[in-house]
Structure 1
Amino acid sequence: MPTWFAACLWLGLAGAAVAQGNGRPQSEFPVATDARLEQSGETVRLTMALSRPVEVGASVLAGPDRVVIDMPSTNFQVQPAAARKSAGVVSAFRFGLFTADRARIIIDLAQPAVVVKAESRPVRGGFGELVIELRRATRAEFQAAVAKTPSRNPEATAAIPPPAKPAGESRQTIVIDPGHGGIDPGAVVASIAEKAVVLAFGAKLKKQLEASGRYRVLMTRDDDRFVPLAERVGIARAAGADLFISIHADSLTQAQEVRGATVYTGSERATDAEAARLAAKENQADAVAGLEASEDMQDVAGILMDLAKRETRTFSAVFARNLVEKLGGSVKMHKVPLRSAGFRVLSAPDVPSVLIELGYMSSPKDAELLNSAEWRGKAVEAVATAVEGYFGGPRAPVGKAAANGR
C-alpha cells in the first residue's frame, strides 16, 4: 500500500472517530504540531509547536522505562510515523488523550534518563512551544527519579460510568469494546493506527445491532480516548451486560504473510504460543499509557480460577464458536480461528466475553480490507448474525434484565 494512500486512510478514520473529547469539539483544544526529536551529546530534546502555552508535568516510570508528560486535552496534529523516530536515550514516543480532560505524551527510553526540562513556553504571536529535555543517567539516578513519581494505577483515571438501565428494560445488553485508544494507538502500520480501525468497526457494529431494536448496546469508548483494562471490564459488569465483544487488529512485522480473523476466549492457559504472545501484548495496554498494573489486575489467573462461573465460560465458548462459523462465511479466517488465553479484558466472571482480532495489519491484504467499507460491512453483518444466533439458539442465555424481572 503506498505510504501516501495509507496516510490518507489513517487521517480519514481518525478524523471520523476523533470528533470530540469531554463533550467539547477538539477545535477548542490547543493544537500541537511539528514534533522534532534532536540529540546533542547525552541530552535529547523533544519539541512541539503549540497553538497556545499549556501547563505541563513530567515524571518517569520503570518496567518498561519511560517518561510521562501530562498536559490538558490537546489536538495532536502530528503524524504517527514521526513518533517512531529515535535519538539517543529515546527509542520512540507516542501521544493522545488519556482521560476526558487530559492528554499524555509517553517517551520510551532505550537507556536510563532523567528529565532536565519540561515546559511550555510562550513564543511570538501568542503561540507556545513544548520543550522536553532528557539527560542520560545511571540506573541509580533513574530509580531515584522513579521513587519520586506518585503511583499511577488504573483506578487513578476518571471512570466513565455506563448509562443507567432504564426501568422496565428487557432487551439484552451488549457492550462493544474497541481496543486501545487515546495515548495507546495499538498496532501502527504505514501510519494506520489500530485504535482508529477498531473504533470505526465498533461504531458500525453498534449501529447494526441497535437497528434491530432487540438490544441495548453500549461502547467502552466512542471516541479517541484511553480506557484502562479494568475499567473496560467494569463498564460491562456495571451495565449488567449479557455479552462483551472486544475488537482488535493484530500485527506481526516479521510474518507479513500471516492473515485472517481470529476469535479468542479467556482462560488461565493459552491454547498455543501465538495466543499467549497476543494476550501478553494486549495486557500491556495500561503500561503503554503510563499506568502501573494494580494488584487485582496482576492476579488475573487467580480471578479466572476462583471467581469465573462455569456457566459464563460455557456461554463464552458457545458464542465464540458461533462467531467463527458466521465470520468464516464472509471473511478470511486465520488457519487456527478459535483460541483462548489469559486476556485481562476478558476477565469478567459474570459476563460472557470474546475478543475478535479482525485481521493482521502487518498483512498488506488484511490492511487493505480492514480499511474497506465493503469488507467492514460484511464482517459487521456476520458478527450481528452471530449475536442473533447466540441469543436465539436452543442454548441461549436468559438476558439479565429478563431474569431480574421474573
Structure 2
Amino acid sequence: MTTDGTEQLFSHFHQAEWLRGAVSRRMGQGARRLLLAVSLLCAGLAGGQPAISQPSVSQPKPQLELPVATDVRLESQGETVRLAMTLSAVVPLKAWVQAAPDRLIIELPSTNFQLQPGARKSAGFVSGYRYGLFTADKARIIVDLAQPAILASAEVKPVRGGFGELSIELKKVGRAEFLAEVAKAPRAEPATLPPAVAEKRVGETRRTVVIDPGHGGIDPGTVVASTAEKSVVLGFGTALRDQLESTGRYRVVMTRDDDRFVSLSDRVRIGQNEKADLFISIHADSLTQAQDVRGATVYTRSERATDAEAAKLAAKENEADSAAGLESGEEVQDVAGILMDLARRETRTFSGVFARNLVDKLGASVKMHRIPLRSARFWVLSAPDVPSVLIELGYMSSPKDAALLSSAEWRGKAVAAVSAAIEDYFARERAPVGKAAEARQ
C-alpha cells in the first residue's frame, strides 16, 4: 500500500470511529492509537478500505458528524498558560479577550465536546473554563482569567491522520496592555435567535404557557459533582410540558428543548411574542458554604429584593449572558406611559397570585425553603405584559436536595404540583385573560 493510500485509509477509518463514537470516548489517547493501528493493519491485510458514506452538504449534520473535541490539556509555565485540545478535523478558529469579567473567548464551528471528566480545569492565571454550543452553528470555549492576559498564539494545526490540534497560548500582561487588546476585540454578538415554535392556529382556544428551563449550551449554570443545572432543569421542564400537553388544555412553548444557549432577552421576548398567559422559569440553586440549606423557592419580580440572599441569586442569574461571552446589561423597558405602568402593576399582581398558589401546591408535595416565597430583580421576569415566576427547585449544594433532583419519583410529585397550580390559577374567575384570550373575544 502506498504512503498516500495509508494516510487516506488512516483518515477514513478515524472518521468512521468518530462517527461511531462509543469506543473512542471510553479510551485514552494511547489506547485509541493502538486500536487504530491494529485496525489499519487488518484493513491492509484484507486489501480494502472501509466504506464511508459521506453526508450530503445540503443536509444538516447529526451530532456524531460534528467535529469532535477530546483530550484537553491545560499547562502553566512561568508567565504563560497553554490550552490544547485534540479535534477530529481541522476547523476555523476565532479567539479574543474580553473584560468585566476578564476572559478569553474561543469560537469554533458547532462541536461535539467529549472531554475527559477529570481534566485539569485551572492553571496559573487561568481559573477555569467551560464549553458548549453558543448558536446552532457555533460553539464556544470560555476561559476565565484570574489576572490580565493576552493571546500569544491561537491556531488549529493539522496533525497526522486528519486530526486537528487546537493550541492556545496566553501570556500574562499588565492591566493597560490587556485593556488595549480588549479594545481590538470584535463587537458583541447580537442577541441569539430564539428556537422556532409552532405557529398558533387560527381559532386557538387554549391558554399559552411558556416554560423556560434556565441556562443551556455554553452556560451550564451551577455544576455540582459533574451534574449541571442546565440538565436538571431541562429534564423538569420537558416533564412539565408533557404533563400540561396531556390535558389538551394548554399550548406549551419551551424557550429551549435541548442543550442550547438562549439569551435572557430572547427568553423574555419569546414570552411576549407568544402572548403567553403564564411564563415559568426553572432553575436549581447552590450555596456551597451552607450545605444544610435546602428546599424549593418561588420568586417573583420586584425592584427591591425581599432579602440579601434573593438579591444575590438574582444578580447571579442576571449574569447568564456573561457566562456565554455576551455583554451583560438589562434592557430598559419603556414605562413612561400610564397604560404601560398600569399593565406592569396588574401583571405583577397576577404573578403574585400564581406564585402564592404555587407555593401552596408545592408545599403539599415537596420540601420547601424556610422562606418559600420571595422576590428580586430578575431580568428573565421583566416582561411587563406576561405574568411570570421563577422556581428554584432546590439546592444542588445540599446532598439531600441533589438526590431528590435526580429522582424520577420526586420530579413526578413536583411536576404534578406545578401542573395543579396552573390548573387552579386559570380556573380562578379573576385570572388574567392575556393577549391570546383577548384576541378570541
TM-score (norm 2): 0.83
**Which residue of structure 2 aligns with residue 131 of structure 1?**
167
Which residue among 287, 291, 296 is the counterpart of 1:256? 291
Map 1:37-186 to 2 at 5 A: 37-79=74-116, 82=119, 85-153=121-189, 155-186=190-221
What percent of counterpart residues are identical? 68
Query: In the TM superposition, what whole-angstrom CA distance separates every residue of 1:44-93 from its partner, at most 9, and x where no partner exists?
Result: 0111111111111001110000000000001111256636x211120000
Q: Rg bigger for which structure?
A: 2
**Alignment partner of 1:204 out of 226, 232, 239:** 239
The aligned residue for residue 326 of structure 1 is: 361
Matched residue SS, 2:328: coil
Q: What's the secondary structure of 2:119's corresponding residue? A: helix
2:403: which partner in 1?
A: 368
Cα distance change of structure 1 residues 303 and 259 upon mapping to structure 2, 3 Å threshold? farther
Contact kept, 8 Å, 1:162 with 1:238, in 2: the verdict is: no
| Pairing 1:31–2:65 present | no
Contact 1:59–1:68 (CA under 8 A) maintained in structure 2 = yes
Report the CA distance between 1:150 and its aligned residue.
2.1
Q: Deviations over 1:1-31 (max 9, x none)?
A: xxxxxxxxxx9xxxxxxxxxx9753112111
2: CA distance, partners of 1:378 / 1:395: 27
Cα distance in 2 for partners of 1:237, 1:394 equals: 23
SS across alignment from 1:91:
strand
| 1:228/1:184 CA distance change after superposition, 3 Å | same
Could you tell me which residue of structure 2 aligns to residue 188 of structure 1? Answer: 223
Deviations 1:324-383 (A, max 9, x none): 000011110000000000000000000000000000000001001101111111110110
Return closer, same or farther for 1:367/1:342 CA change in 2, 3 Å cut-off: same
| Matched AA of 1:185 | P
What is the CA–CA distance in structure 1 between the aligned matches of 2:354 and 2:112, rounded to whole Å?
Answer: 39
Q: C-alpha deviations, 1:86-107, integer Å up to 9, x for none?
A: 1112000000000111000000
| 1:280-291 matched pairs, under 5 angstroms | 280-291=315-326
Q: What secondary structure does 1:205 align onto? A: helix
Query: 1: CA distance between counterparts of 2:215 and 2:431?
Result: 30
Residue number in structure 2 paired with 1:4:
none
Q: CA deviation at 1:163?
A: 3.2
CA contact (8 A) 2:276 2:436 kept: no
In the alignment, structure 1 residue 218 sits paired with structure 2 residue 232 = no
2:249 pairs with 1:235: no
Query: Helix, strand or coil: the match of 1:218?
Result: strand
Count matched residues.
382
Among 356, 373, 397, the alignment partner of 2:432 is 397
Query: What is the aligned partner in structure 1 of residue 302 from structure 2?
Result: 267
Q: By how many angstroms is 1:262 displaced? A: 0.2
Q: Give the residue type in structure 1 aligned to 2:286.
A: S
Q: What amino acid maps onto 1:341 in structure 2?
A: A
Once residues 303 and 183 of structure 1 are traced to their aligned partners in structure 2, the CA distance between those partners, rounded to angstroms, is 36
Mapped to 1, the partners of 2:271 and 2:61 lie a distance apart of 25
Q: Secondary structure at the match of 2:436?
A: helix
Counterpart code for 1:363: S
Which one-letter code corresponds to 1:164 in the other structure? E
Aligned AA for 1:222? D
Residue 114 (structure 1) shift: 0.3
What SS does structure 2 have at the residue aligned with 1:143? helix
Q: Aligned-residue CA RMSD in angstroms? A: 2.0
CA distance in 2, matches of 1:290, 1:50: 22
Contact 2:233/2:283, CA 8 A, preserved across alignment: yes
- After superposition, the C-alpha distances for 1:167-217 in whole angstroms (9 at most, x for unaligned) are 111111011000000000000000000000000110110000000000000
SS of residue in 1 equivalent to 2:104: strand
What's the TM-score, normalizing by structure 1?
0.90
Unaligned runs of 5+ in 1: 1-10, 12-21
Displacement of 1:303 in angstroms is 9.1
Q: How far apart, in 2, do the equivalents of 1:398 and 1:299 lie? A: 26
